[in-house]
Structure 1
Amino acid sequence: MAHAAWKWMVVAVGVGAGVLACSDNGGGGGSGGFDAGVNKERPGFGEDPGQPVGNPFVFPPGIELAGEPYGASDADGDCGNGVAPQGTGQGVLVCVPLRNLSGAPVTMTFEPALVMLSMSTSRYQNGMLMDRVRITIPPTGIGPGGVDAGPDAGSEEKPYIVPLHMYCINEKRAPSEEGVPYALSVVSTDPDILTLLDLLKNKVIKGQDAITVVQDALYSITEYNGLTDEDRRRIRAL
């Protein structure tokens, strides 16, 4: 599996601006390279061991996973089923297959601060959603050649696949890749993450500069002690 070229272009641009984004090459963020002496330990963030702390993610009644979430398959983060990508992050692009057994459309919400964990044995990013995503999931149906094609034709479920675009929370690790397995984790309750989300309320995250501001602020939390005065100033200017 090869890294999507656009992701590494983002890294290259970031390096030119004094910022490293979603790279396994180390460094970047805060006031210099990673230094355990200035890092506030937060399980699952940066290089800190353990599982992220937060509230369990709960699906609405009738909605469930239809399979293991996996790294998006192309440079646009599209999952190949016509559903528009959701979220503004660039480093962790994951396809989430869903099944709706309710018999009617269900509108569900992916909350900001939702964590997606890489389940690979290699060093891939965990991701965090920084946007509130509300999306309507249609009832799960059967595709062509399924039960309507005759008693011996078998059936083929057509899950609804949501492309989630998330931010990096492990600066030294690689971006997501096609097919890398992921798992839905918790909605973070880290106080600094909640402060960042509060600062981002009513801000429009559009364009590379704004995305970089958010990613840098997140790294100040996941790799260091928390938001800096410069992070706050840049967020105010969005």
Structure 2
Amino acid sequence: MLNFLKPRLLLGLLSVALAVSGCKLFGGNEPAPEPEEHYEPGFGPSQERPVGTAFTWPAGITLIGEPADDNLDCVMEADQHRRNLGNGGMVSLCLNLYNSTSQPINVTLPPGLMWIAKSLKTQNGIIVNRISFEVPPGQRFFRLHTYCANGGTRSPSGGQTYEAQPLVTQHPGLQELIGQLETRKINFEDYGGERLSTVAAYSGPVAGAVTKVAFNEPISEQTRRELAALPLR
């Protein structure tokens, strides 16, 4: 009788040992896998579609066609008539705007406004400070300069087309940067709409900060000092 119980007893003890150990006999000494990094949709290496609130143009203003960075007439007209907007060097869009009224209309593009590339190989463009400009009656070209939302993971906007409907993103990491830039005078329209090299240089620390935020990385102290040194309105 005793010999009959021994195998059962040993089997029971082994089952208890395995349960207590959490099956450590099978790879228990290996480190747990690192959780996957989460990026906001459309930012950094994310290939998800950006999310946000649809932007609405003021009454009387219509965007004709889809914004693109392949319109030489737009570039020439924007330079000739000083209709360069925003700042940033890698994502530039031609806005063909039509004012159907007989009076100029003021347009404001809010910070967080994101322009969605039609190709996943092309940078999404984002605005991180408010842009205000006037559209006279009739049809006019404006050239909008924005910041890269995807760092080095995608190509610049040259020759590419963007969706006609931009979105206002609520990326939580951008809110501090947007607040800091609210009082800064760093856009081309702040200096008469001319594409001045001195104004273009202001985009350096801003672009660096946007990239850090897009990749969930902290903004360096050096960049913070450069942002604080940008001219005030």
2:184 corresponds to which of 203, 211, 222: 203
Matched, 1:80 2:61: no
Aligned to 1:66: 64
Partners of 1:89 and 1:130 within 8 A in 2: no
| 1:52 positional shift | 2.0
CA distance in 2, matches of 1:117, 1:160: 22
Aligned to 2:17: none
Aligned to 1:98: 97
Q: Say if 1:119 and 1:211 are closer, same or farther in 2 by CA, change over 3 A.
A: same
Partners of 2:117 and 2:124 within 8 A in 1: yes
Q: Secondary structure at the match of 2:179?
A: helix
Higher relative contact order (CA 8 A, sep 6+): 1
Aligned to 2:145: 165
AA in 1 matched with 2:208: D
| 1:232 positional shift | 2.7
AA in 2 matched with 1:99: Y
AA in 1 matched with 2:173: D
Q: Say if 1:83 and 1:47 are closer, same or farther in 2 by CA, change over 3 A.
A: same
Q: Secondary structure at the match of 1:216?
A: helix
CA distance in 1, matches of 2:127, 2:229: 21
Q: Secondary structure at the match of 1:118?
A: coil
Worse overlay, 43-52 or 162-171: 43-52
Q: What are the within-5 Å matches in structure 2 for residues 1-238 of structure 1?
A: 39-73=37-71, 78=75, 80=77, 82-120=81-119, 123-140=121-138, 159-171=139-151, 172-178=153-159, 180-183=160-163, 184-205=165-186, 206-207=198-199, 209-238=201-230
Q: Say if 1:63 and 1:204 are closer, same or farther in 2 by CA, change over 3 A.
A: closer
| 1:73 positional shift | 4.0
CA distance in 1, matches of 2:200, 2:54: 31
Higher helix share: 2
Partners of 1:125 and 1:173 within 8 A in 2: yes
| 1:72 positional shift | 4.8
Structure 2: 5+ residue runs without aligned partners? Answer: 1-33, 187-197
| 1:80 positional shift | 2.9
Q: Say if 1:191 and 1:228 are closer, same or farther in 2 by CA, change over 3 A.
A: farther
Q: Say if 1:211 and 1:89 are closer, same or farther in 2 by CA, change over 3 A.
A: same
Larger-gyration structure (1/2): 2
Number of aligned residue pairs: give it: 182
Aligned to 1:27: none
Q: Say if 1:79 and 1:208 are closer, same or farther in 2 by CA, change over 3 A.
A: closer
CA distance in 1, matches of 2:70, 2:142: 10
Give me the TM-score of the superposition, normalised by structure 1.
0.67
AA in 2 matched with 1:173: R
| 1:230 positional shift | 4.3
Q: Secondary structure at the match of 2:96?
A: strand
Structure 1: 5+ residue runs without aligned partners? Answer: 1-35, 141-158
Q: 1:179-204 deviations in whole A, cap 9, x for unaligned?
A: x2112421121122121011123234
| 1:228 positional shift | 4.3
Q: Say if 1:95 and 1:232 are closer, same or farther in 2 by CA, change over 3 A.
A: same
